[in-house]
Amino acid sequence: MAYTVLRGGLVLDIRAGSAEPADILIEDDTIREVGPPGGPVPDGTREISAARRLVHPGLVNAHTHSHGNLAKGMGDRWTLELLLTAAPWLGGNRGAEDIQLSAQIGAAEMLLKGCTACYDLFFEWPVPSADGMALVASAYAEIGMRAVIAPMVADRSFYEAIPGLAEALPTALQERVATLRLAPGEATLKAIGAIVRDWQFDREQVRPAVAPTIPHHCSDAFILGCAALAREFDLGLHSHVAESKVQAVAGIRVYGQTQTAHLDRLGVLGPNFTVAHGVWLDDDDMARLGDNGASVAHNPGSNMRLGSGLADTRAMLDARVNLGIGTDGASCSDNQNMYEAMRLASFVSKVQGPDWQNWLSTREAALAATEGSARALGFGDRIGRIAPGYKADLVMLDLDHPNWLPLNDPVNQLVHCEDGTAVESVMVGGRMVVEHRRILTLDLARLRDRATASRDRLLAANADNRRLYDALAPVVGSYCPGLARTPYHVHRYGARAE
Ligand SMILES: [Zn+2]
């Protein structure tokens, strides 16, 4: 057994809204005791000074995409549907090096910005592979971050999933997008089954999950197949639900009811189910999620960046939905900064009306980004808090940084002032991974050289895919907003009357 003690820091208690002087005794990877400063520790205990530091639980990113990190900043004015149209350009022709590199870049950014665990919806075309999953899992394990990695899968392409879209394309483009068909559902389910059956990694560090990407991009049989795998192997399920209005409208057209009502009818909602975004959930949908103990991964940055809308987190909390916070992928947010995501979660709730009692408090935002996200990841009893029995996933902020001068209120300042620049050191499972603002587990200079080489290679390899995007964007960019423009209640009740 190895003991470590963090001495002399102010330890944040988000629920209490306080930061009191306390020492944290860690045994191996787990917090054993949080006690008064200067208390006795076992012989041979390693001491780490946390003087002039605020110690907070590592932030937990409830929704990201590791493959997005090589595509950061590649676009500007994109709706979700234009982003999906751009997917072959942004993510095409990836090899093993690109898959690993993209995950490493994201993990490095998250750790340097105080995030110690994430839910990664990782995409590989045309089917998820054991090699691809192992590359991502080992990227997290080696850098020392916790992750839940869910292959993001479907059995219908974007063009098959949006009613009327394929028919709106000129014939030549219809033929091109037909080549973007995904593998048959059975092949994908078989591949995931093999991956999770042979999982070689420590599930306390990196574990698999399943992400049927968007409900109506999946046949019912396919969604049920994903849920069966989740039951058999005790996995999380994660899906983009009611993200954009186009998605909400398409759900009504396809199912005659909301996506969430349909998922409920299929019987797949439960405590292991995470809805990503949930911008267009109605009260009944939220009640369904709350009653089933499900989570929402709230991604306010992406929801604004893609023009998807402002999610109503107060209504979610009122419906007893477990609320987590995420950054979403770097192709649509574009950073992986959980401090910013918390801050935006707070701000987005505050622009929705003058009834300030309905606004998300900083305490609620901070709890969502720690305990709430942890529960969505399936780590609810082991990460997201500084308490005995929890993993030693800890962030030390420099209280001499201007963000904290003066220290007036630790939770308000964590959510509204901190932007990641005061992160001094980060520990995951008792292992120091960031010290004096430098990452210890990865060579950033080498990462830079590899990223440049990968960018150049992918730029050339995806030139055709870029041209395809340029040809498709005018059609998708006018058809989808048209679909979204009709008032939502006309879609809902019109669809029922038909
Ligand atoms: Zn996403």
What's the 250 CA to ligand 1 centre distance in angstroms? 18
What's the 299 CA to ligand 1 centre distance in angstroms? 9
Spatial contact of 424 and 53, defined as CB atoms under 8 Å apart: yes
- pLDDT digit string, tens, across residues 299-350: 999 999 999 999 999 999 999 999 999 999 999 999 999 999 999 999 999 9
Q: Above 90 in pLDDT, residue 492?
A: no
Q: Above 70 in pLDDT, residue 67?
A: yes
Spatial contact of 145 and 428, defined as CB atoms under 8 Å apart: yes
What's the 9 CA to ligand 1 centre distance in angstroms? 36
What's the 454 CA to ligand 1 centre distance in angstroms? 23
Instruction: Identify the pLDDT of residue 1.
Output: 84
What's the 153 CA to ligand 1 centre distance in angstroms? 12
What's the 247 CA to ligand 1 centre distance in angstroms? 13
- pLDDT digit string, tens, across residues 371-382: 999 999 999 999
Q: Above 50 in pLDDT, residue 497?
A: no
Whose tokens are 């075309």? That residue is: 125
Contacts of 215 (CB under 8 A, 6+ apart): 223, 239, 241, 251, 259, 262, 263
Instruction: Identify the pLDDT of residue 491.
Output: 63
What's the 68 CA to ligand 1 centre distance in angstroms? 10
Per-residue pLDDT, averaged over 38-52, amounts to: 97
What's the 238 CA to ligand 1 centre distance in angstroms? 10
| Dihedral (CA of 210, 279, 67, 148) sign | negative
What's the 295 CA to ligand 1 centre distance in angstroms? 15
Per-residue pLDDT, averaged over 31-55, amounts to: 97
What's the 353 CA to ligand 1 centre distance in angstroms? 27
Half-sphere exposure of 288 (CA within 13 A, CB side): 21
Give the number of other Cβ atoms within 10 Å of residue 462's Cβ.
19
Mean pLDDT of the chain: 96
Instruction: Identify the pLDDT of residue 498.
Output: 38
Q: Above 70 in pLDDT, residue 416?
A: yes
What's the 155 CA to ligand 1 centre distance in angstroms? 17
Spatial contact of 12 and 414, defined as CB atoms under 8 Å apart: yes
What's the 335 CA to ligand 1 centre distance in angstroms? 13
**55-69, 166-180, 484-498: range with lowest mean pLDDT:** 484-498
What's the 183 CA to ligand 1 centre distance in angstroms? 20
What's the 447 CA to ligand 1 centre distance in angstroms? 25
Per-residue pLDDT, averaged over 114-141, amounts to: 97
- Reported confidence tier of residue 160, pLDDT bands at 50, 70, 90: very high
What's the 12 CA to ligand 1 centre distance in angstroms? 30
What's the 120 CA to ligand 1 centre distance in angstroms? 9
Spatial contact of 212 and 154, defined as CB atoms under 8 Å apart: yes
Separation between Cα atoms, residue 451 and residue 463, nearest integer Å: 18
Give the 3-state secondary structure of the chain.
CCEEEEEEEEEEECCCCEEEEEEEEEECCEEEEEECCCCCCCCCCEEEECCCEEEEECEEEEEECHHHHHHCCCCCCCCHHHHHHCHHHHHCCCCHHHHHHHHHHHHHHHHHCCEEEEEEEECCCCCCCHHHHHHHHHHHHHHCCEEEEEEEECCCCHHHHCCCHHHHCCHHHHHHHHCCCCCCHHHHHHHHHHHHHCCCCCCCCEEECEEECCHHHCCHHHHHHHHHHHHHHCCCEEEEECCCHHHHHHHHHHHCCCHHHHHHHHCCCCCCEEEEECCCCCHHHHHHHHHCCCEEEECHHHHHHCCCCCCCHHHHHHCCCEEEECCCCCCCCCCCCHHHHHHHHHHHHHCCCCCHHHCCCHHHHHHHHHHHHHHHHCCCCCCCCCCCCCECCEEEEECCCHHHCCCCCHHHHHHHCCCCCCEEEEEECCEEEEECCEECCCCHHHHHHHHHHHHHHHHHHCHHHHHHHHHHHHHHHHHHHHHHHCCHHHHHHHHHHC
Spatial contact of 309 and 46, defined as CB atoms under 8 Å apart: no
What's the 140 CA to ligand 1 centre distance in angstroms? 19
- Of residues 415 and 487, the one with the higher pLDDT is 415
Per-residue pLDDT, averaged over 409-416, amounts to: 98
- pLDDT digit string, tens, across residues 345-404: 999 999 999 999 999 999 999 999 999 999 999 999 999 999 999 999 999 999 999 999
Per-residue pLDDT, averaged over 165-190, amounts to: 95
What's the 495 CA to ligand 1 centre distance in angstroms? 27
- pLDDT digit string, tens, across residues 194-252: 999 999 999 999 999 999 999 999 999 999 999 999 999 999 999 999 999 999 999 99
What's the 65 CA to ligand 1 centre distance in angstroms? 6
What's the 497 CA to ligand 1 centre distance in angstroms? 33
What's the 214 CA to ligand 1 centre distance in angstroms? 9
What's the 457 CA to ligand 1 centre distance in angstroms? 25
Percent of the chain at pLDDT exceeding 70? 98
What's the 349 CA to ligand 1 centre distance in angstroms? 20
Instruction: Identify the pLDDT of residue 487.
Output: 72
- pLDDT digit string, tens, across residues 237-290: 999 999 999 999 999 999 999 999 999 999 999 999 999 999 999 999 999 999
**Pairing relation of β-strands 237-241 and 211-212?**
unpaired
What's the 207 CA to ligand 1 centre distance in angstroms? 18
Q: Above 60 in pLDDT, residue 495?
A: no
